[in-house]
Amino acid sequence: MSIYGYIRVSSKEQNEDRQLIAMRNAQVPEKSIFLDKQSGKDFERPMYKKMVRRLKKDDLVYIKSIDRLGRNYQEVVEQWQYLTRVKQVDIVVIEMPLLDTRRGKDLVGTFLSDIVLQVLSFVAENERTNIRSRQKEGIEAAKARGVVFGRPPKELPDNFAQIYKRWKAGELKSHEAAKLCGVSRSTFYTKVKDYELQLEMG
């Protein structure tokens, strides 16, 4: 039997130290710890795939919490069943002692483990959905208060009116006019529309 540990953080900026400490406390060999710095939205992760390829029957896999395995409820359940039933390995979720497939190998034990897994996976994904919803509501509320997101619009030169007239008269090509304004051609066209609208409104 070989022992493995799987660690996942969502980005390169996040720190994996807490998960590493948990693996060491579980006496997982350093060489058998696989780390992905990637989103948990699916299982297209290089180190996870590499670990799964190595797994043999009766091996043991440690993860710190169920959301480190993944964040998609359906895929987490499917992957759990693949590991335990197809690869025939055991999984231990360090922060959730009920999710330890070494316990209760009978039908009832397996059933209880699957139920707990499904509930926890659902809760993890539901919380992720709620976070996205709260972020969206916060952004919409901020916009309603007049908060502007993104880069501030680039100021046009004081002589934009003259550049516009020369461009309109055909003395300047669009890329030349844009260069004189210090903006891209697409931004120049946008500014032209805004300027012409202002002229129409008087």
The pLDDT of residue 94 is 92
Q: How many CB atoms lie within 10 A of CB 96?
A: 15
pLDDT at 130 over 60: yes
The pLDDT of residue 76 is 83
State yes or no: is 10 an active-site residue.
Answer: yes
Alpha-carbon span 189 to 136, nearest angstrom: 31
**pLDDT for 147-195, tens place per residue?**
666 666 666 677 888 888 999 899 989 889 888 888 888 888 888 888 8
The pLDDT of residue 107 is 57
- Mean confidence (pLDDT) of the chain: 82
Task: Please compute the mean of the pLDDT values over residues 138-149 and round it to a whole number.
Answer: 72
The pLDDT of residue 28 is 95
Which of the residues 10, 32, 39, 174 is marked catalytic? 10
Split at pLDDT 50, 70, 90, the class of 31 is: very high
pTM attached to this predicted model: 0.58
> Three-state SS for 87?
coil
**pLDDT for 48-81, tens place per residue?**
999 999 999 999 999 998 888 887 777 888 888 8
Which residues have a Cβ under 8 Å from the Cβ of 42 and sit 6 or more positions away? 70, 72, 75
pLDDT at 108 over 60: no
Q: At what angle do helices 174-181 and 160-168 cross, to 10 degrees?
A: 180
Sign of CA dihedral 3, 27, 105, 67: negative
